[in-house]
A = this chain, B = another copy of it.
Amino acid sequence: MPKAALRVLGIDPGGFVAGWGLIQSYGNKLRLEDSGTLRPRRGDPFTMRLCALHSGLTEVLDRFQPNVVAVESVFFSRHPRAALQLGHVRGVLLLAAAQRELEIFEYPPATVKKAVTGNGRASKEQVRQMVAMLLGSEIKGAADKSDALAVAICHAHSGGLLSRIKDLDPGPPRRRPQRGKP
């Protein structure tokens, strides 16, 4: 893949674990690099788990050197206690990315689903299947990984669009690929 490929790390923070997925994007082409789940030990105190998530993501960032990080924005229909807990986890993950001076982009869940499946209300299984199809690679294991890859793909599409607007002379508008509007 050419040097100018954009390396996008998608992150899917949960209340206790976090999925991550790295893709390379060049023009309309996408390639899966790797994906995984940060899974602190369940019995550990919450603050130790925050440490493990932060250092785990820092390792991923240092190993894969993404150009940009994409993360889902959060539903506000949650119970405040769940929102508070998710906030702690999200805070230390965003911190890790910000400490590496990476740009961080947020996308609402419906935007991510629509960018990947064409349907803003797609199920997790539908997302997983489309992510696998788009990347030409089966995504095994927990949904955290395919959700993280989905937000990376969503960014790659919008990022591609933005760079088209910036880099090319204004010409006749190109049709986006078959998945519909992002």
Contacts and interface: CB of A to CB of B under 8 A. Distances in A.
A68 interface: no
A75 to B, nearest CB: 9
A56 B54 CA distance: 17
A173 B50 CA distance: 39
Contact of A87 (B47, B48, B88, B104): B88
- A interface, size bucket: 20 to 34
Interface in A25-73: 46-48, 50-51, 54
Contacts of A83: 80-81, 83-84, 87
Contacts of A87: 83-88, 90-91
A92 interface: yes
A142 interface: no
A90 B88 CA distance: 6
Nearest to A98: B47
A119 to B, nearest CB: 26
Nearest to A88: B91
Interface of A: 46-48, 50-51, 54, 74, 76-81, 83-92, 94-95, 97-99, 104
7 contacts: A47-B95, A50-B94, A51-B95, A81-B83, A83-B87, A84-B90, A90-B91
